[in-house]
């Protein structure tokens, strides 16, 4: 059985880590390079950095930050935000990222997934999906959860896998920042349907939520932000807890 992964996520805006609730009301959470290095020391398995504004100037700032992160980390990290074409992928991989995450651009132009997989390998391509439960169905959203797409979560995740995605990062917008647990039933449905790893995102508030994401949600990795940024959960303690709960985890 493959070890489950704990993945802190750092949303970066204008060079600073920020965190909100349900994708709004952002507050400052610290320096992204320092935070990343600290999480690496604490035993995080991977990190995700998302440029949440990704304006043209922001991209330049973000690329410089990725270079600094790569110099200060000894664990893999994924970067996302504003990736619209292969040159963006190449720029971020050259800056030191291990994987890239695509969301809105892939929904608008699904062939981008095929291109990334063909040019850099599926292991580089993480397809992030922001979805919420609308009228009895899980539906995908664009642009940081602002624009509905009319596409169903399971349908889009399956297509992304077929096109060459190496992992699916599913964020439940309904659970994001609320700290009441992940969308485990939906995670399990994704895990049962797909043959690639599923990363759970949105809802971590206590250690039990991570356990449930792995056992009930069948997730391969669990991503969280504010509980780590604001010191509510220490990664070392979380991993010891998960081991006691019988979950395979690297310590």
Active site members? 11, 130
Longest dimension (CA), the chain: 46
Rounded Cα–Cα distance for residues 240 and 243 (Å): 5
Q: How far is CA 240 from CA 1, 138, 152, 159, in A?
A: 18, 33, 37, 36
Pairing of strands 147-152, 137-142: antiparallel
Rounded Cα–Cα distance for residues 177 and 219 (Å): 19
Q: How far is CA 117 from CA 99, 104, 126, 167, 208, in A?
A: 11, 17, 10, 11, 35
């Amino acid at each position: 059985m493959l070890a489950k992964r704990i993945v802190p996520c750092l949303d970066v805006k204008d060079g600073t880590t920020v965190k909100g609730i349900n994708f709004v009301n952002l507050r400052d959470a610290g320096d992204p390079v320092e935070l990343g290095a600290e999480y690496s020391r604490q035993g995080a398995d991977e990190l995700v950095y998302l440029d949440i504004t990704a304006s043209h100037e922001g991209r330049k700032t973000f690329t410089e930050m990725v270079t600094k992160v790569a110099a200060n980390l000894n664990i893999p990290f994924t970067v996302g935000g504003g990736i619209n074409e292969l040159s963006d992928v190449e720029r971020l991989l050259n800056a030191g990222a291990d994987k890239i995450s695509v969301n809105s651009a892939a929904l608008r132009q699904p062939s981008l997934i095929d291109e990334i997989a063909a040019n850099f390998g599926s292991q580089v391509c993480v397809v992030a999906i922001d979805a919420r439960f609308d009228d009895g169905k899980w539906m995908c959203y664009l642009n940081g959860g602002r624009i509905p797409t009319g596409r169903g979560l399971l349908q889009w995740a399956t297509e992304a896998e077929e096109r060459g995605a190496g992992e699916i990062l599913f964020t439940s917008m309904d659970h994001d920042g609320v700290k009441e647990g992940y969308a485990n039933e939906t995670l399990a449905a994704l895990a049962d349907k797909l043959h690639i790893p599923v990363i759970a995102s949105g809802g971590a508030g206590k250690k039990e939520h991570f356990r449930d994401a792995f056992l009930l949600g069948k997730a391969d990795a669990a991503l969280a932000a504010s509980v780590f940024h604001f010191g509510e959960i220490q990664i070392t303690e979380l991993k010891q807890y998960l081991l006691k709960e019988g979950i395979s985890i690297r310590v």
